[in-house]
Amino acid sequence: MSITGRCYCGACTYEVTGATFFHAQCHCRECQYISGGGPNYFMMCKAEDYRITKGTPTAFARPDLDTPVTRHFCPTCGTHLNTYPRPSMVVIKVGTLDDPADYPGPESAIYTCDLQSFHQIHEGLPQFEKLPPRG
């Protein structure tokens, strides 16, 4: 299975060759900045299954946070392509997928501690103030 995606202008493209997991929507304040105010829809993959196929994204990590994540953006159009929360994982932004149908939909809503009154969560979707317990 292969999933592909790109930035808005097409200068940066990527491919995922392995399985994706942790399909969710994040309501954290940091994601609100990146998404324009709404929740951020994402899925994850192993870092070894993700590769940039065109272009060189710009990396950014907030220097004012104790444990910032590294986010990658297209240097031309500014599209937020991915995040590396740990060296072994990549968070893929659903809006960058060539075929949005590759995203099965969120399995949970996370960081609801930062939920805004205009954010919507589907009824019955598991919700977590921060991250779900590991298990």
Identify the pLDDT of residue 135: 66
* β-strand pairing of 80-86 with 108-110: unpaired
pTM beyond 0.75: the answer is yes
Q: What percent of the chain has pLDDT over 90?
A: 90
Identify the pLDDT of residue 20: 97
Q: Per-residue pLDDT for the chain (135 aa), expressed as one digit of tens each? A: 799 999 999 999 999 999 999 999 999 999 999 999 999 999 999 999 999 999 999 999 999 989 888 999 999 999 999 998 888 999 999 999 999 999 999 999 999 999 999 999 999 999 999 999 986
Question: Count of alpha carbons within 13 Å of 48, Cβ hemisphere only?
Answer: 1
Rounded to the nearest 5°, which phi and psi values hold at 70?
-95, 125
| Residue among 23, 53, 51, 28 nearest 39 (CA) | 28
CATH of 3-114, one of 2.170.150.70, 3.40.250.10, 3.10.580.10, 3.40.50.11750: 2.170.150.70
DSSP-derived secondary structure for 4-32: EEE-SSSS-EEEE-S-EEEEEEE--HHHH
- What the block records as the tokens of 92 is 């893929």
Identify the pLDDT of residue 73: 96
Instruction: Let me know: does 49 contact 17? Beta carbons within 8 Å.
Output: yes
Instruction: Let me know: does 70 contact 83? Beta carbons within 8 Å.
Output: yes
Question: Count of alpha carbons within 13 Å of 16, Cβ hemisphere only?
Answer: 27
